[in-house]
Amino acid sequence: MTAPLPLTASHDAARLHGSLDGIARAASRAAQPGFYDRHDWLALTHAHIYPSDPLAIASMREGDATAWLPLRDCGGGHGRGLASWYTLAFAPLFTPGTDPDTRARLLGEIARILRRRFDTLSLWPLEADVAAELQAAFRAQGWLPRLQFETANWVAETGGLDFDAYWANRPSKLRNTVRRRTKNSPFTTDVLDRFDDAAWDAYEAVYAQSWKPDEGAPDFLRAAAAAEGAAGTLRLGIARRDGVPVAAQFWTVENGHATIHKLAYLESEREHSPGTLLSVAMFRHVLDRDRPAMIDYGNGNEPYKAEWMDTRRERFRLRLFNLRSVGGLSQGVSRAARAALRRITG
C-alpha cells in the first residue's frame, strides 16, 4: 500500500481535497452541463450512499483551467470514482472550454499525485472517449490500465422530431402493441413537470411492488428528484387504474438531453402493459413540449430498449494499477497474468 498523501497537501498546483466544498462553484448547474458532474449530485451521492467513505477529490490547475477527479477512499489503498448505480456516466470535471492538450496535462498531474495515495483505482461507468482519455493520462504516469465492457447505453436522436414523427419510425410490432392496448385501456396517465410529494410516494409504492430489486437508497433518489423539480428539469409520470398507481417513470430534460432514469410497473398489471402506455405518454409529452435533441434510455441492455431507441452505445469500467507501489504492482501483474492465461486457453 502506498503512503497516504495528506488531503491538504499540495504539489505545485495539484491537490487532494477531503471534501466537495472546493468545487461547489466550478461544478454548479450553470458551469457543468453534465447531469452527473455537478456538486449537488456528487454531494447527495456521498451523503446518502457512501457516508462512511472519506473523499479524495483530486484537482490540478494550470492558468485558468482546472481539472477535478472525484474519488472516495475505500481503504486498503483502493479508490473508486464517486459514482453509484444511479450514475449513468462518470467523468473527470474540467473548467468549461478546456482544450484537449490542456485536459491531458491536467489529468496527467492528477494521475501523478494519486500514485502517492492509492495502489488501485476503479472508475465507472465511463463513456468510450472518457475511458480513452483517462487511460492515456494514467498510463503515462506509471499506472497499468485495464478496460472492460460494463454495460450498454441506448439513445435516440430526436432533434427536430415531434412525437408523431418519432413514433412513425418505431417498429411496427411496438406500434401495433400500443394500438391494441390503448383500446379500452383501464389506465389514466399524468406527467408532472414539478416535484410533488404525493406523486413521488406513488412512484415509490409502484417500485416497491414491481419486479425491480430494492431501490438501495430511496432517500437519495427522492432528494435528487426534488432538486430537479426545483430546477424545472423533472418529468414524473404516473399511470393509475381506478386511482391506484400501477406504473411510474422518472425522467429529466435539460440542455436538449432527455434521460429516462427509472421506471417500474406492477407485475400484477403486466398483461395490460401499463408501463408501455405510460412510456407513450412520457415520450409524447417530452417530444412535443421539450423537443430534446436526444433521449437517453439509461444503462442496461434490456431488449425492449431497442424498440424505443436507435443507437446502442457502450459504457466501460477502467481499473488502474499503480506500478510504483508494491500493492499496485502485485495486483497489476496478477491481473495481467490471468488475462494472458485466458487468451492462451481461449
Sign of CA dihedral 85, 201, 259, 36: negative
State which H helix or E strand residue 144 sits in: strand 143-157
Does residue 9 register a pLDDT over 70? no
Does residue 2 register a pLDDT over 60? no
Q: Supply the mean pLDDT for the chain.
A: 93
pLDDT tens per residue across span 82-123: 999 999 999 999 999 999 999 999 999 999 999 999 999 999
**DSSP calls for 285-301:** HIIIII--SEEEEEE--
The pLDDT assigned to 344 comes to 77
Does residue 4 register a pLDDT over 70? no
Q: Could you give the CA distance from residue 237 to residue 282 in angstroms, rounded to a whole number?
A: 7
Share of the chain above pLDDT 90, in %: 86
The pLDDT assigned to 62 comes to 94
State which H helix or E strand residue 34 sits in: none
Average pLDDT over residues 275-302: 97
Coarse DSSP helix, strand, coil percentages of the chain, rounded to the nearest 5 percent: 40, 30, 30
pLDDT tens per residue across span 246-282: 999 999 999 999 999 999 999 999 999 999 999 999 9
Of the pLDDT bands very low, low, confident and very high (cuts 50, 70, 90), residue 328 is: confident
Q: Could you give the CA distance from residue 246 to residue 210 in angstroms, rounded to a whole number?
A: 9
Average pLDDT over residues 221-234: 97
Q: Could you give the CA distance from residue 104 to residue 208 in angstroms, rounded to a whole number?
A: 44
Q: What angle do CA 174, 179, 183 make, to 5 degrees?
A: 145
Write phi, then psi, for 319 (nearest 5 degrees): -105, 135
Of the pLDDT bands very low, low, confident and very high (cuts 50, 70, 90), residue 346 is: low
Of the pLDDT bands very low, low, confident and very high (cuts 50, 70, 90), residue 11 is: very low
pLDDT tens per residue across span 35-45: 999 999 999 99
**145, 119, 48, 130: which is closest to 88 by C-alpha?**
130
Are 10-152+315-345 and 159-292 the same fold in CATH?
yes
Alpha-carbon dihedral 298, 56, 21, 41, rounded to 10 degrees: 10
Of the candidate CATH numbers 3.40.630.30, 3.90.1150.10, 2.30.40.10, 3.20.20.70, the domain formed by 159-292 belongs to 3.40.630.30
Span 10-152+315-345 CATH architecture: 3-Layer(aba) Sandwich (3.40)
Residue whose entry in the numeric block shows the C-alpha cell 430534446: 292
166 exposure class (CB count in 10 Å sphere: 0-12, 13-18, 19+): buried
Of the pLDDT bands very low, low, confident and very high (cuts 50, 70, 90), residue 330 is: confident
What pairing do the DSSP bridges indicate for beta strands 244-254 and 257-265?
Answer: antiparallel
pLDDT tens per residue across span 160-187: 999 999 999 999 999 999 999 999 899 9
Neighbours of 237 (CB within 10 A): 25
Domain boundaries of the chain, sorted by first residue: 10-152+315-345, 159-292
Q: Could you give the CA distance from residue 27 to residue 338 in angstroms, rounded to a whole number?
A: 39
Does residue 3 register a pLDDT over 70? no
Does residue 145 register a pLDDT over 70? yes
The pLDDT assigned to 333 comes to 76
Q: Could you give the CA distance from residue 322 to residue 331 in angstroms, rounded to a whole number?
A: 9
The pLDDT assigned to 341 comes to 65
Kindly report whether the peptide bond that precedes residue 213 is cis, defined as omega within 30 degrees of 0: no
Q: Could you give the CA distance from residue 70 to residue 94 in angstroms, rounded to a whole number?
A: 12
174 exposure class (CB count in 10 Å sphere: 0-12, 13-18, 19+): middle
Does residue 7 register a pLDDT over 60? no
